[in-house]
Structure 1
Amino acid sequence: MSDVIDSDVLLKRASELVELAKKAGADEADAVVVRGRSRSVSVRLGKVEATESSESDDFSLRVFVGRRVASVSANPGFDLKVLAERAVAMAKASPEDPFASMADDERLAKSYPDLELFDPTDVSTEALTEAALAAEAAALAVAGVTNSSGAGASSGMGGMVLVTSRGFSGAYMGTRFGRSVSAIAGEGTRMERDYDFDSRLYFADLKSADDIGRTAGERAVARISPRQMPTQQNLTVVFDPRMARGFVGHIAGAINGASVARKTSFLRDKMGEPVMKAGLTITDDPLIVRGSSSRPFDGEGITGQKLSMIEDGVLKHWFLSTSTARELGLETNGRGVRGGPAVNPGSTNFALEPGDISPEDLIRSVGTGFYVTELIGQGVNMLTGEYSRGASGFWIENGEITFPVSEVTIASNLKQMFMAVTPANDIDRKFGVAAPTLAIEGMTLAGT
């Protein structure tokens, strides 16, 4: 594995590319190499359906000529000089961009921490196959499970090399291991499906294949014979942690500086104002050791720090890269994400901090409500905050989860939802977007 993680060759090649861009007429330049390696196996009903593996080193060169900027990408084996000259020629022919620029020298990381993102464990295709088959077998062994939609296991690594003409040079690599299974319960028109999965940086931290399979099977069986519910107003809806993570992801999107600059976020005018219930805090921390979305530096060479994006309900920060920050008259906070040649702001380890109540007690406090375990469709308007999605889950009666429910729609506006959130204490921080069970008051359930 050492030959895979040794980035010296890539750093040298990126440095040469930057120097050639300067010689070709660029005022400034940076070069990025995004490295990826992956291996996966998918099975169904005891048979291997697919085995895949991939390797890639994708180069991107960004050059600045005055206020003009251009980017080009290539695979290994390209001619460095030709690529550099092409990028500079493109930049000279491009319109000026008043905000595009590299990070200021004083913001560049002089050193950066080892966040322990790399696990050298080499998981063979045979071991991946065994794990996928074991997860499916565990799901099929649950009473009431009648079929499988398949199971999978994967291992991979990825990372980034960044060299800039302002003197920054750095590289990091991270690993990822995963297991998943989808089970079907019931028969005919009464069939129901559910799943479980796990994804971790370190192989030893993965949930066992048996646990994942059993959980998927039990979830599918619990959904048999769902009921439809009449339309109801002002209902408390409880999001299980899987669905809560998606909900919190909407918050991340709403406070992304790029959306604010484009005026496509419903929170664009809310900086310094309450946007969530008092007492709630949302953090973003790129420096968590072994964190799922940790990184020692961002896509521009800046080491970000932990931020309370929303503190005691008040909006404190946008996610900012250098160009987005300058467009907004601000300074970057080290949240630049390299997506090919572009640098856009994004979250790292983003978490809605937990409350002090257990999920069981939170559900008991609801009395009557709806516990959501699946959401369908993309009915979220980030410009207005309007929220309307198909849902299924379980009815809460007298503080207890009772019968399954399907074919309903839950609706509200994210502005009101953010102000009506009560978090439980069951957060799992091993996900890049982390959230506990959430209760949200005042929603509409549209049913029969």
Structure 2
Amino acid sequence: MTRTPEEISHQLLDAARKAGAESADAIVIDGSSVSVEVRSGVLEHAERAESTDLGLRVFLGKRQAIVSSSDSRPETLAAMAERAVAMAREAPEDPFTGLADADQLSKGWDMDALELFDPTPEPSADALMSDAINAEAAALAVQGVSQVSDAAAAYGTHVVHLAATNGFSGGYARTSRSTSCVAISGEGTGMERDYDGDSRSFQADLRDPEEIGRTAGERAVQLVGAQKPATGSFPVLFDERISSSLIGHLLAASNGAAIARGASWLKECLGEQVLPAHLSLIEDPHRPRIAGSRPFDAEGLSTQRRSIVENGVLTGWTLDLSSARKLDMKSTGNAARGVSGPPSPSNWNLSLTPGDKSRADLLRDMGTGLLVTSMIGSTINPNTGDYSRGASGFWVENGEITHPVNECTIAGNLRDMLMRIIPANDARPYLSRVVPSLLIEGMTLAGN
């Protein structure tokens, strides 16, 4: 008889108690996926995967141990619990570890309001293949596209259940449907590549595969003839496709684990201005049909809407229970975990205040500079915020795009950069991170 993730998680807790654990929590993740890839209009690769992964964390006083498995047979659960308890006996004490108190736990949630699971039937392999073929054909139809290196479509379901001896038990299911295409233009050493793709919780929200393929092809063709830009100090416009990486660096620096280690360029900045005064950065884990939404975190605490930055001022850290205890604060309900590791702080859905100008307006205003559409590599000093990344995109003269550029490096300091960002109004509202194109003046650019 097939057992549900909820049943397996509670059987793990029973096994942990029997093995001598003082307290424990268990997470069970049940997933299935089907994906197809095509090349030249025919199927190149098809895969279906199903798995049930289990994670058990046990406590003996302030000692903890974690074990994981993909085998849910009763004898395996018992062996997992015995092994975890034996490991905990040998583990060093951690004064900040432990489950949430009962009064901290989430008591109820409205799963229907989050709309994480699409009730539409799973697409057939033929339907996925049709999407991939249509995306590939649309890319190849763009004049200048020499080949499509990858056209794919996929569907997956993900069911998670968390249970703990402090009384928490909760779970949810989510679905995902995606289409992607990578197109190549040019020949030989002049080849350029670019992509487009879309991933949604509900299949009906997914963009047309023809649009995805066509966009990938057009983007690849636009890069033909790329050259190195000039070296100097120029304004840089981070395209909406990659602008969220800048906000990602701010999130990493305000993560409670980094703050507790003292390894953050923001560690002395709580309550200080870190963005322009008219900008706020909002986290909202309750947005319907969004991949980052969830009713509770990996420690059973309620997730909540909060302002990470309000009117330019950094209001708080992103905390799980352990980092909150280290900093003598309260968890923000941001614990995330897999089956083989302890919880750690993580962010959910983010949105940055949009500007009142379009990307075209910012291009016009910047005069001469760089529009970045792709980035590679990363050298970020977590303690100082010094920033250096490889980039490619388009050169702008007198507010107009003139030619593609590549093989250049942009550099600056994140603290200074973020204080100078000018947002456009072109963010896609259905993404988990809703961040528009961002203009930063006076960045160091190394090209020729």
TM category, shorter = over 0.9
* 1:19-418 matches, cutoff 5 A: 19-75=14-70, 76-79=72-75, 80-114=77-111, 115-121=114-120, 122-233=122-233, 235-340=234-339, 341-418=341-418
Q: TM-score, normalised by structure 1?
A: 0.95
Question: 1:353 offset after TM fit, Å?
Answer: 2.3
Which residue in 2 is equivalent to 1:14?
Answer: 9
Superposed CA deviations along residues 29-59 of structure 1, whole A, max 9, x for unmatched, are: 1111012111111122223221111111111
- Give CA deviations for 1:250-286 in whole Å, capped at 9, x if unaligned: 2221111111112222111211111122111111111
Q: Give the CA deviation at 1:380.
A: 2.2
Which segment is superposed worse, 79-88 or 35-44?
A: 79-88
How far is 1:78 from its partner?
A: 5.0
Unaligned runs of 5+ in 2: none
What is the alpha-carbon distance in structure 2 between the residues aligned to residue 389 and residue 14 of structure 1? 43
Report the alpha carbon displacement of residue 419 of structure 1 after superposing the two structures with TM. 0.8
Check the 8 A contact 1:45/1:150 in 2, yes or no.
no
- Offset at 1:177? 0.9
Q: Which amino acid aligns with 1:238?
A: L
The one-character-per-residue Cα deviations of 1:209-241 (angstroms, maximum 9, x if unpaired) are 0000110111111111123222111x1100111
1:272-318 Cα shifts (integer Å, max 9, x gaps) = 11112211111111111112200011101111110110111111121
Q: Which amino acid aligns with 1:110?
A: K
Cα distance change, pair 391–423 in 1 and its aligned pair in 2 (3 A) = same
1-side partners of 2:285 and 2:359: how far apart?
A: 28
How far does the alpha carbon of each residue in 1:139-182 deviate from its partner, in whole angstroms, 9 at most, with x for none?
A: 00001111111211111111310111111111101111111111
Unaligned runs of 5+ in 1: none
Contact 1:19 1:165 in 2 (8 A): no
1:432 Cα deviation from its structure 2 partner: 2.1
TM superposition score normalised by structure 2: 0.95
* Separation in 1, partners of 2:74, 2:144: 56
Counterpart contact for 2:8–2:28, Cα < 8 Å: no
2:421 is equivalent to residue 421 of structure 1 = yes
Query: Is the 1:145–1:220 contact (alpha carbons within 8 Å) kept by the matching residues of 2?
Result: yes
Partner amino acid, structure 2, of 1:99: F
Does structure 2 retain, via aligned residues, the 8 Å contact 1:388–1:410?
A: yes
Q: What secondary structure is seen at the aligned counterpart in 2 of 1:42?
A: strand
Whole-Å Cα distance in 1 between the matches of residues 6 and 241 of structure 2?
Answer: 39
Amino acid at match of 2:436: P
The whole-number CA distance in structure 2 between the counterparts of 1:78 and 1:398 is 70
CA RMSD between the two structures:
1.5
How far apart, CA to CA, are the structure 2 residues paired with 1:232 and 1:187?
31
Give the share of equivalent positions with the same residue, in percent.
Answer: 48
Separation in 1, partners of 2:138, 2:291: 27
1:15–1:137: structure 2 CA closer, same or farther, 3 Å change rule? same
Q: Distance in 1 between matches of 2:84 and 2:415?
A: 44
Maintained 8 Å contact 1:292/1:430: no
C-alpha deviation, 1:195, in angstroms: 0.8
CA distance in 2, matches of 1:258, 1:402: 44
1:444 matched to which residue of 2? 444
Distance (whole Å) between structure 1 residues aligned to residue 44 and residue 263 of structure 2: 42
1:10, distance to aligned residue in structure 2 (A): 2.1
SS in 1 for 2:136: helix
Task: Work out the CA distance in 1 between the residues paired with 2:144 and 2:34.
Answer: 32
CA distance in 1 between partners of 2:4 and 2:53 (Å): 14
Write out per-residue CA displacement over residues 71-126 of structure 1, whole angstroms, 9 at most, x where no aligned residue. Answer: 11122225233322222222122111100111121111111121110013311111
**Residue by residue, what CA displacement relative to the aligned partner does 1:404-436 show, whole Å, maximum 9, x if unpaired?**
111211111111111110111111132222211
Letter paired with 1:436: P
1:77 partner letter: R
**What is the aligned residue count?**
442
Residue type matched to 1:28 in 2? S
Contact 2:185 2:220 in 1 (8 A): yes
Moved more, 271-280 or 427-436: 427-436
Task: Provide the secondary structure at the position in 2 that maps to 1:377.
Answer: strand
Judge which range, 359-368 or 236-245, deviates more. 359-368
Contact 2:131 2:209 in 1 (8 A): yes
